[in-house]
Chain A
Amino acid sequence: MKNMKPVWRGLLLLLIGAVVGYAVGLGLDAFIGGRIDFVAPLGGLFALLGAAVAFFLGLVGYRGITRGLVFQVIGTLVGGFFVTGIRALMGLSTFGGFFFTEPAWVFGALVGVISFLVGVGALTDWFKWAKGEETPDHHDDPEGFVKYFGVSLDHKVIGIQYTITSIVLLGVGGLFALIFRTELAASQLQFLTTTFKAFDQNGLQFYNTLMSLHGMVMIVSILLGIAGVMNYLIPMLLGAHDMAFPRLNAFSYWIAVPAAVLLLSALFLGGFDTGWTGYPPLSTRSPVGIQMFFLGVFVAGWSSILGSLNLIATTIRMRAKGMSAFRMPIFVWAAIATSIISLTATQLIGLSFQMVMFQRLFDMGFFDATRGGNPVLFQHLFWFYSHPAVYVFVLPGLGVISELLPVFARKPLFGYKWIAMSSLGIALVGFLVWAHHMFTSGMNEYLRVPFMYSTLLVAVPTGVKFFSWVATLWKGKITTPTPMLFVLGGIIVFLLGGLTGPPNATVSTDLHLHDTYFIVGHFHDTMFGGYIFPFFAALYYWFPKATGRRMSEKLGKLHFWIMTPAFLVMTLSMMRIGLLGMRRRIADYDPMLGFDLTHLITTIAGYLIFTSVVIFLYNFFRSMKHGEEAEGNLWNSRSPEWQVPSPMPVHNYDQAFEVVGEPYDYGLEGSRYVEFAKSKKGN
C-alpha cells in the first residue's frame, strides 16, 4: 500500500472504513435495540465517519484533519457518555432510539467540535500564548499537497481549503436535491413512499430531511465559498502579506469542518422536517436530528463571524501605500459590505436556534404560546439574519462581476464610486427588510407596509449595479473566454431573480405567492445569478493564479452552455407551477393540477445542471496537474496579483507596490494602477 498514489490509497481505505464503521454502528444499535436493523441510524452515521477518517488517513496519514476527525468522534462519545452517566445517577433514562439521549447528543456534539479543534491543532498557538510562551509569526507549511489538510496560517492555503470544502458541500447538497427532485418528477409517491425506511425515517420524512438539508448544506457551502474567494483574494488585492489575524483565520476555517460533520449527521439521527428555517413549534417536536442541525449552523455561524471580523480588520489596517478608499479594487468594497452583515447579524440566527435548543433541552417556553411564549418572535430573530444573509451570499458575487467586466470589456468600470456605495447601500437597507418573509405569519399588520417599502428600496442600489454593468459593456471590445461567459450568464440570471423579487415584496401579491414554487424559482435565480455563476467565473479566472495552470476552455464552455439553458428552464418551470398553485416543500401533488409535465422538465433540467457540474469537477481536478501552463498575466489584467508570476509566492509580493492611479482605467493610454518598488522589501 505504501507505493500506491495517495488518492487511490485514500479511496481504498474509504471503502474499508465505511464497512467497518457500518458494522460498529450496527453493533451499537443492536446492543441497545436488541435486534439487527440494517438501516439503523448509527450504522449510517458511523459508516460516514469511518469513511471520512479512513479516506484522510490514506490520503495524508494521521495528521491534521484525520486527527481532528478522530478527536471529534472520541470527544462526542466521551461527552455523550458523560451526560449519560450523570443521567443514570439522577435516575433519568440513559439510552434512547438513537443510542444516546438528546441532551447527551447535544453535549457530546459540543465537546466533539472543541475536540476537533484541539486535534487538528487550530488552538495550539493560543494555548501557548495563554501559558505565556512566544510563537513565531508564521509557521512553515509542509511541502506538497499535504499542507492543505492541516492547519496553515497562509491565507492562500486557507482560501483554497475553504473553496474545496465548499465545492464538496455543493456536491453533497446538489445530490440531496437530485434525490427529492426525482421523487417530484411525477405525481404520486414513487420511491420515497411510506414503506421506504432509512435511519428511522419513512419516505416522506426522508424527503423532508433531504429537502431541509439541501437548503442548509447549500447555505454553508455558499458561506464557505465566498469566504474562500475573499480569503484568497483580499490580502493579494490589498498588497498585504497575509490577513490581519492569521490564527483566527485558520480557526475560522477549521471550525467549519466539524460544523459540516454535525450538519450531515442530522440526516442519520432521525432527520428533521422543518425546512432550513427550523420554525417552532414544529422544530420543538422534530427528532434529535434538528439539534444537530441547530448546532451545526451555530458553529458554522462562528466561522462566518470570525472570518468577516478578520476581513474588516485586514482591509482597514493592511492596505498598500496609496490605496485610498476609492482606489481599492471593487471586490474589496463588496467583501466589506458582506462582512458587515455577517459580523453582526449572524449572531441573531445563532441566538434564535439556541433558544429553540434550550426550549427542547430545558423546557424553556420562549416559543410556547401556552406559557406566554411567542413563535413569531423566533421568525423575527431568525429573519433578522436570514434575510441579510442572502446579501452576504450575493454581494461578493456581484463584486466578482464588477471586477471582471472591465477586464473583458477593455473599458473603465462605469461609475466606480456608485458601485462601491451601492454594495454598502444593499447591506444597510438589507438590515431593515426582514419582516417581508412574515407577511402571512400573523405579525402585527401595521408592520406590513413599511417592510414592503423598505424591501422595494433594495431595488435602487441593485439597479445602480445593473446600469453600471450595462454601461461598462457598452461599446467595449468584448471577448468571451469562460470566466466572461459566466459573468454575462450571472448578470442575466440575476436580472431574472431581481425582477421576480418585487412581486414577493408587495404585500398584495405575496399573500398569493407565499410558500409556492414561485418563491423557490425566484430564490434559485438570485442564488445562481448572485453566487453560483460568479463563483464559477472566479474559479475559472483565478485558477491559474493558484495553480500556475489554466482550466480547459473547451470543457469550461461546455459547462457553461449546458448549465445556463438548463438552469433557465428549471427556474422558469418552477415559477410557472408556483403560479399555478404548487406549494413548496411537499413531496407529492395532485395530478389534476396539470403540471406533471412541467415537473418532469424541471427534473430533467436539474439532472443537466448536475451533469455540467460533473464536467466542471473533472476539469477542475484534472487541470491542477495536467492543465495548460499559464504563469503570466493571462487575462491582461491591471490588478496587482497578475503583475507577478503564478502561482503566488508564499508571502505574496517580494516587492511592495504603491497605488498610483485608478484601478479600472482599461484602454486609457498611459494610465497605471500599481507601481512596484525597485528595491526588495527591507526584512
Chain B
Amino acid sequence: MAHTDKKTALNQGMIIFIFLAILTALEFFIAIAMDAVPLLVIVALVKAGLVMYYYMHIYKLNAEDKGDENSYAYKTGSNRLGLWLFILSDSFVFGGLAVSRFNLLGLTRPHLDQTLGLIVTAVLLISSFFMNRAETSIAHGDRKGFLIGTTITLILGLGFLLGVVGVEWPQAIHEGVTPSSGAAGAIFFMMTGMHAFHVLTGVIFLAIILRNGARGLYSEEKHWAVEAAAVYWHFVDVVWIFFYPALYLMGTVI
C-alpha cells in the first residue's frame, strides 16, 4: 500500500466499507423478506472476499521479497505467511462450529433480538473500517491518524463485547435460551463465546499496539505488529460475517 498515495488508499477503504454496509443491509432484508439460505451464503462470501482482499491484503502473500534473508522486509514476509497459516488453522475451529450448528439445528434458529444483532454487526464492521484507516495511516507515516484509528477500533471492539456478552447473553437467558436449555442454546453460546474470546484477544493486541505506537515504535517501514493486529482484527470480522447470518438470519425461529 505504501506505493499508492495516502488519500487514494483511505478512499478505497471508505468505498469498500460502503459496499460492506450495503451488503449487510441487503442480507438483513433478504432474511426478512424470504427464506433464501443460498443467497445469504453468497452475500456472506462476497463480504468475506472484500474484507480479505481489500482490508487483509491477502495478495501481499504473493509479493516479491525485498532484501536479504536477515532484513526486516524479508522477515515480515515470513511473519505474514505464518499469520495466514494461523488464520487458516483457526478458521477450522469456526468452520467446525458452523458445521455443528447446521448439524444440530438444521434450518432452524434460536429466538434472538434482531435489532441487537444488527447493531453489534454494524459496530464490528465500523471497527474494521477504522482499523483499516489506522493501518493505512501508519503505512504512510501518519502516527496521529494511526493512534486515532486504533483508539476508535478498540472502543468499538469493547462495545461489541459489551453488546454480545453484556446485553445479548443476559437477554437470551431471560428469553429462555440458556446454555443448558438444549442444542440451540448450547450452540448459540458456544459460537458467540468462541468469537467473543477471539475479539477479546484482538482487543488486547490492539491495546498493545496502541501503547507501543504512542511511544513511537512504529514507522512507515517497520510496523509489522500493526499489520498483524489489523489482519487478525479483520479475520475476527470475517468470522462474524458468517456467524451473523448463521445465528440470526438463516432458517426459521424455533
Pick the 4 closest A-B CB pairs, nearest first: A372-B183, A364-B186, A363-B180, A347-B92
**What sequence of 0s and 1s flags, for each residue 335-356 of chain A, a beta carbon within 8 Å of any chain B beta carbon?**
0000000011111101110010
Q: Are A365 and B182 in contact (CB under 8 A)?
A: yes
Interface assignment of A149: CB less than 8 Å from any CB of chain B: no
Q: Are A350 and B93 in contact (CB under 8 A)?
A: yes
Closest to A248 in B: B82
Which A residues have a C-beta under 8 Å from some C-beta of B?
A: 129-130, 132, 244-245, 248, 305, 309-310, 312-313, 316-318, 343-348, 350-352, 355, 358-359, 362-366, 371-374, 377, 380-381, 384, 683
Q: B183 contacts which chain A residues (CB < 8 A)?
A: 365-366, 371-374
Q: Are A366 and B82 in contact (CB under 8 A)?
A: no
Interface residues of B in 142-190 (CB under 8 A from A): 179-187, 189-190
Could you tell me the distance in whole angstroms from the C-beta of B212 to the nearest C-beta in chain A?
4
Q: Are A309 and B82 in contact (CB under 8 A)?
A: yes
9 more CB-based (< 8 A) A-B contacts, given A364-B189, A377-B100: A129-B225, A132-B212, A244-B78, A305-B89, A309-B85, A347-B90, A350-B93, A372-B182, A373-B104
Which B residues have a C-beta under 8 Å from some C-beta of A?
A: 69-70, 77-79, 81-82, 85-86, 88-90, 92-93, 96-97, 99-100, 103-104, 179-187, 189-190, 208, 211-212, 215, 217, 225
Q: Are B92 and A317 in contact (CB under 8 A)?
A: no
Q: Known contacts being A348-B92, A351-B97, A381-B96, is A313 close to B186, with CB within 8 Å?
A: no
Q: Are A351 and B96 in contact (CB under 8 A)?
A: yes
Bound: A359/B186 CA distance, A: 9
Q: Are A381 and B100 in contact (CB under 8 A)?
A: yes
Q: Are A362 and B85 in contact (CB under 8 A)?
A: no
Q: Known contacts being A347-B93, A350-B93, is A364 close to B180, with CB within 8 Å?
A: yes
Q: A348 contacts which chain B residues (CB < 8 A)?
A: 92-93, 96
Majority secondary structure of chain B interface residues (helix, strand, loop or mixed) = helix
Q: Are B186 and A373 in contact (CB under 8 A)?
A: yes
Q: Known contacts being A313-B78, A373-B186, is A343 close to B179, with CB within 8 Å?
A: no
Q: B225 contacts which chain A residues (CB < 8 A)?
A: 129
Query: Which residue of the partner chain, among B85, B186, B190, contacts A343 with CB atoms under 8 Å?
Result: B85
Query: Which residue of the partner chain, among A317, A364, A373, contacts B78 with CB atoms under 8 Å?
Result: A317
Could you tell me the distance in whole angstroms from the C-beta of B115 to the nearest C-beta in chain A?
26
Q: Known contacts being A318-B69, A374-B104, A377-B100, is A351 close to B93, with CB within 8 Å?
A: yes
Q: Are A312 and B85 in contact (CB under 8 A)?
A: yes
Q: A305 contacts which chain B residues (CB < 8 A)?
A: 89
Query: Which residue of the partner chain, among A244, A355, A362, A374, contacts B180 with CB atoms under 8 Å?
Result: A362
Q: B78 contacts which chain A residues (CB < 8 A)?
A: 244-245, 313, 317-318
Bound: A594/B92 CA distance, A: 48
Q: Are A365 and B180 in contact (CB under 8 A)?
A: yes
Bound: A431/B220 CA distance, A: 42
Instruction: Provide a sorted-by-A list of 24 A–B residue pairs whose CB atoms are within 8 angstroms.
Output: A129-B225, A245-B78, A313-B78, A313-B81, A313-B82, A317-B77, A318-B78, A344-B88, A345-B92, A347-B96, A350-B93, A355-B190, A358-B186, A359-B186, A363-B179, A365-B183, A366-B100, A366-B104, A371-B180, A371-B182, A372-B104, A373-B182, A373-B183, A373-B186
Closest to B184 in A: A372
**Most chain A CB atoms below 10 A, which of B82, B96, B187:** B96
Q: Known contacts being A344-B88, A347-B89, A358-B190, is A317 close to B81, with CB within 8 Å?
A: yes
Q: B189 contacts which chain A residues (CB < 8 A)?
A: 362, 364
Q: Are B92 and A344 in contact (CB under 8 A)?
A: yes
Q: Are A366 and B85 in contact (CB under 8 A)?
A: no
Q: Are A380 and B103 in contact (CB under 8 A)?
A: yes
Could you tell me the distance in whole angstroms from the C-beta of B243 to the nearest C-beta in chain A?
15
Q: Are B88 and A343 in contact (CB under 8 A)?
A: yes
**Most chain A CB atoms below 10 A, which of B92, B182, B187:** B92
Could you tell me the distance in whole angstroms from the C-beta of A340 to the nearest C-beta in chain B?
10
Closest to B96 in A: A351
Q: Known contacts being A362-B180, A377-B100, A381-B96, is A309 close to B89, with CB within 8 Å?
A: yes
Closest to B104 in A: A374
Could you tell me the distance in whole angstroms from the C-beta of B145 to the nearest C-beta in chain A?
20
Closest to B81 in A: A313
Q: Are A244 and B186 in contact (CB under 8 A)?
A: no
Closest to A306 in B: B86
Bound: A380/B97 CA distance, A: 12
Bound: A365/B105 CA distance, A: 12
Bound: A351/B100 CA distance, A: 10
Q: Known contacts being A245-B82, A313-B81, A344-B88, is A365 close to B69, with CB within 8 Å?
A: no
Could you tell me the distance in whole angstroms from the C-beta of B60 to the nearest C-beta in chain A?
14
Q: B186 contacts which chain A residues (CB < 8 A)?
A: 358-359, 364-366, 373
Q: Are A316 and B81 in contact (CB under 8 A)?
A: yes
Q: A244 contacts which chain B residues (CB < 8 A)?
A: 78, 82
Q: B104 contacts which chain A residues (CB < 8 A)?
A: 366, 372-374, 377
Closest to A310 in B: B82
Q: Known contacts being A130-B208, A343-B88, is A366 close to B187, with CB within 8 Å?
A: yes
Could you tell me the distance in whole angstroms from the C-beta of A300 to the nearest C-beta in chain B?
15
Q: A683 contacts which chain B residues (CB < 8 A)?
A: 70
Bound: A130/B204 CA distance, A: 10
Bound: A313/B61 CA distance, A: 12
Could you tell me the distance in whole angstroms from the C-beta of A415 to the nearest C-beta in chain B?
30
Bound: A363/B137 CA distance, A: 47
Closest to A339 in B: B85
Q: B88 contacts which chain A residues (CB < 8 A)?
A: 343-344
Closest to A384 in B: B96
Q: B208 contacts which chain A residues (CB < 8 A)?
A: 130
Q: Are B182 and A132 in contact (CB under 8 A)?
A: no
Q: Are A364 and B179 in contact (CB under 8 A)?
A: yes
Bound: A225/B63 CA distance, A: 35
Q: Are A377 and B89 in contact (CB under 8 A)?
A: no
Bound: A554/B96 CA distance, A: 51
Closest to B187 in A: A366
Bound: A346/B99 CA distance, A: 16
**Most chain B CB atoms below 10 A, which of A130, A348, A374:** A130
